[in-house]
Amino acid sequence: MFDRLPRLNPDPILGLSAAYRSDPNPLKVDLGVGVYKTEAGETPVLACVSQAEAALLEEQTTKVYTPPAGIEGANRAAAQLAFGADHSVLTDGRVATVQTPGGCGALRLAAELIAKAKPDARVWVSTPTWANHIPLLGSAGLTLREYPYYDFERHCIDFDAMYSALEHAGKDDLVLLHACCHNPSGADLTQAQWQALTELAETRGFTPFIDMAYQGFGQGLEEDAFGLRLMAERLPELVLATSFSKNLGLYRERAGSLSIVSNSPTGAEAVLSQTLSLARGLYSMPPSHGAAIVERVYHDDALRGLWLSELAQMRERIHSLREKLVQALNSRQSQRDFGFIAHEQGMFSFLGLSQPQVARLKSEFSVYMTDNSRINLAGINTSNLEYAADAISAVL
């Protein structure tokens, strides 16, 4: 049976990571894989997480399954962080939230729910978007359409083209939007643009499908949720996938959630029942450890305060790295102004290099990034900034 399956090429980003690890060059720089790193080049366990885990270890008496919807306190935390504790969709009982195996699990569970509710639904995704959006949604049988988003020449959102394309989205369509820290471009919608898209959704009837993987990494927890909260307030339905991989550093713990906003409490109850049925057929029960950490950190005042401080430090470090990289690149050459990097949000940015230039960076300088020149700013630190800037300037 299985000997008839062809060998597939490695995932491009995972393959890039493997090439970096095997490179013997002591000056090598990894700007590819999308995880947060400290000045020491490590992806840390946050202090708030360590303290929560220690308390959980002391208290835990069983490894019995979690409830089908997951840990209630973690679900409440996810919903309140996303929408705001006093948002009308929560106080009116219009939100159904279930715990999922990471943000990927939330996206796939949402895709299965959409396919069940409307098999011929179309999901519009940005060009570009996070690479895994396509297989996660498409493998559920959904039809995908693309809308223009990032202008690679001007290094900004092409909002006019985006808006014009979405004028063709209808009531049986969903539009996938990045809540903040757009992956892979780093170019985020302004509040005015969120307002315009909300009005367009009201007119055309499409449903927002929002992926919020980096809440707190852009401007702040509240600011990064602006568009989501606006759309939830104004529209009858909304789909939200959230992740704690980045803002709590729980990458390997796969802590995420799926929240569906319905037009009534009765509708939310029906959606919850359908979502749990689908989850049962996909992964049965959600994992416990990551969600238990989320519950503990969010609802413990001391741990929550510590988390907010650590999150602010990560966010401010990324902002600082953007400014330092712009200064380093612009001081070395006059062919290109890299000032746009400082105006973007989150960990990612496109340098605007060609594939041959990216290949030279890898082969001649051991500076690793994806073929489209997307970089993870968190891979830069004091020890490699000058070297990376020299290498990038050399291939221009």
* Catalytically active residues, by annotation: 130, 211, 246
255 close to 234: Cβ distance less than 8 angstroms: no
Q: Which phi and psi angles does 93 have, rounded to 5°?
A: 75, 30
Give the residue from 123, 111, 64 showing the smallest Cα distance to 285.
64
Distance of CA 254 to the CA centre of its chain: 13
Q: Is 6 exposed, middle or buried (0-12, 13-18, 19+ CB in 10 A)?
A: exposed
Q: Tokens 């450890």 correspond to what residue? A: 289
- Rounded Cα distance, 315 and 317, in Å: 5
Q: Write out the two tokens for 217.
A: 């990494």
| Residues contacting residue 389 through CB under 8 Å, at least 6 positions apart | 325, 328, 329, 332
Q: Write out the two tokens for 164.
A: 């014009």
Q: Write out the two tokens for 345.
A: 């949000």
Q: Write out the two tokens for 323.
A: 């400014």
Widest distance between CA atoms in the chain: 63
373 close to 352: Cβ distance less than 8 angstroms: yes
| Residues contacting residue 264 through CB under 8 Å, at least 6 positions apart | 94
- Rounded Cα distance, 324 and 267, in Å: 50
Give the residue from 212, 271, 211, 213 showing the smallest Cα distance to 237.
271
85: helix, strand or coil: coil
Strand order in the sheet with 122-127: 95-101, 255-261, 238-243, 207-212, 173-178, 122-127, 143-148
Q: Is 108 exposed, middle or buried (0-12, 13-18, 19+ CB in 10 A)?
A: buried
